């Protein structure tokens, strides 16, 4: 079990490292294309990060001995704690009730965890779970294509969010983490459970890796084929997007397992394991620090108004090559500092979980 957890932690750490780099460029005006989200339909490598984490929520449920034994109140408390952390981050540091964003990344993760955990407590049969996933994805496809269109403002999910949470969305008229699009995200977590059930089976490590990778390739192909009927879209978390990203997650997880469990190569993954074992801490701390850096005022060299981040970037990174190189260098330094925090916690045996 420890080796499996190392594989999963390494994958989670890689996902979190990608998240920190994507969310913290030196300047949003200079970003390499793989670190940008697709504008609407389509996908980039960055669009894989969030669903990877949701997929891992499902995998982790199968690896935790407490998932089935824990009382419902503990599961509910954990899910609501994750949602609460997301709401805290959204309000920080001013906590203005009139501009407080209600949906968010951690809010979605918390809801996906709750739904997936309670479904998992009811059944551990992969066939049943696959049926639930199919029902969610087909149902979502029908609802989105029947009621409204697939534009940012015109889709049914955005209309529901405006009616229920108007004034508290990421954009004025829509939110990428809205209520309706959380339904297919739950399917992503359930696919993670199915993968986790396979990882905890009695099959040999080689067979686990092979089938997981083959299944991943099949799902990626299915997602790409579905794209021509129901476009891949992260903002809407479309059914084709679920298939594509779950497949990509399975392939990357299989690669981690192959290197760690089959080949026994563990030295390379130690920094990733450190990040993965304190993922929630990394997400929250990096998010709060980044917010403070862009809020606290400072003065640029020419005396004009700037922020602490602007001054750090101007004086510490702008001299490096092109603007994109400098922007990426800032993100990598930010990640290094976050890693040092996680490394210190790891050395002291501190693992903060919701």
Instruction: For residue range 62-101, list pLDDT tens digits in order.
Output: 987 666 777 888 999 999 999 999 999 999 999 999 999 9
Mean pLDDT of 98-105: 95
Q: Confirm whether 295 is domain-assigned.
A: no
Report the domain count for the chain.
1
Q: Are 260 and 269 in contact (CB under 8 A)?
A: yes
Q: What is the pLDDT of residues 310-349, one digit of tens each?
A: 999 999 999 888 999 999 999 999 999 999 999 999 998 8
Q: Confirm whether 47 is domain-assigned.
A: yes
Contacts of 72 (CB under 8 A, 6+ apart): 118, 121
Which residues constitute the domain of residue 92? 37-264
Q: Confirm whether 349 is domain-assigned.
A: no
Q: What pLDDT shows up at residue 4?
A: 46
Q: Confirm whether 97 is domain-assigned.
A: yes
Q: What is the pLDDT of residues 162-201, one digit of tens each?
A: 999 999 999 999 999 999 999 999 999 999 999 999 999 9
Q: Confirm whether 279 is domain-assigned.
A: no
pTM of the model: 0.94
Q: What pLDDT shows up at residue 3?
A: 43
Q: Confirm whether 274 is domain-assigned.
A: no
- Confidence band for 302, pLDDT divided at 50, 70 and 90: confident
Q: Confirm whether 80 is domain-assigned.
A: yes
**Partners of residue 185 on adjacent β-strands:** none
Q: How far apart are CA 94 and CA 288, in angstroms?
A: 12
- Confidence band for 161, pLDDT divided at 50, 70 and 90: very high
Q: Confirm whether 333 is domain-assigned.
A: no
Other CB atoms within 10 Å distance of the CB of residue 310: 19
């Amino acid at each position: 079990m420890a080796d499996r957890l190392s594989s999963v932690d390494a994958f989670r750490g890689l996902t979190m490292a990608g998240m920190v780099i994507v969310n913290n460029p030196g300047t949003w005006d200079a970003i390499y294309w793989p670190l940008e989200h697709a504008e609407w339909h389509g996908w980039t490598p960055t669009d894989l990060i969030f669903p990877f984490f949701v997929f891992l929520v499902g995998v982790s449920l199968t690896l935790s001995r407490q998932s089935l034994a824990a009382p419902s109140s503990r599961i509910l408390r954990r899910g609501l704690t994750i949602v609460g952390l997301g709401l805290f981050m959204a309000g920080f540091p001013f906590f203005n009730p009139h501009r407080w964003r209600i949906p968010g990344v951690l809010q979605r993760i918390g809801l996906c965890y709750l739904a997936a955990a309670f479904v998992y407590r009811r059944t551990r049969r992969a066939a049943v779970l696959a049926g639930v996933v199919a029902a969610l994805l087909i149902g979502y496809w029908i609802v989105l294509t029947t009621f409204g269109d697939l534009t940012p403002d015109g889709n049914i999910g955005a209309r529901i969010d405006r009616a229920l949470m108007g004034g508290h969305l990421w954009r004025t008229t829509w939110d990428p983490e809205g209520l309706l699009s959380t339904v297919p995200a739950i399917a992503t977590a359930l696919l993670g459970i199915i993968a986790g059930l396979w990882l905890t089976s009695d099959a040999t490590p080689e067979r686990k890796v092979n089938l997981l990778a083959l299944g991943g390739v099949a799902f990626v192909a299915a997602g790409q084929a579905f794209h021509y009927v129901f476009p891949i879209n992260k903002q809407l978390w479309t059914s084709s997007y679920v298939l594509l990203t779950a497949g990509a997650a399975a392939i990357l997880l299989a690669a981690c397992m192959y290197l760690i469990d089959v080949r026994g190569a563990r030295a390379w993954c130690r920094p990733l394991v450190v990040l993965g074992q304190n993922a929630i801490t990394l997400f929250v701390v990096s998010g709060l620090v980044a917010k403070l850096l862009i809020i606290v005022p400072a003065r640029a060299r020419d005396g004009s108004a700037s922020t602490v981040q602007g001054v750090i970037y101007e004086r510490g990174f702008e001299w490096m090559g092109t603007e994109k190189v400098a922007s990426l260098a800032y993100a990598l330094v930010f990640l290094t500092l976050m890693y040092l925090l996680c490394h210190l916690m790891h050395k002291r045996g501190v693992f903060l979980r919701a």
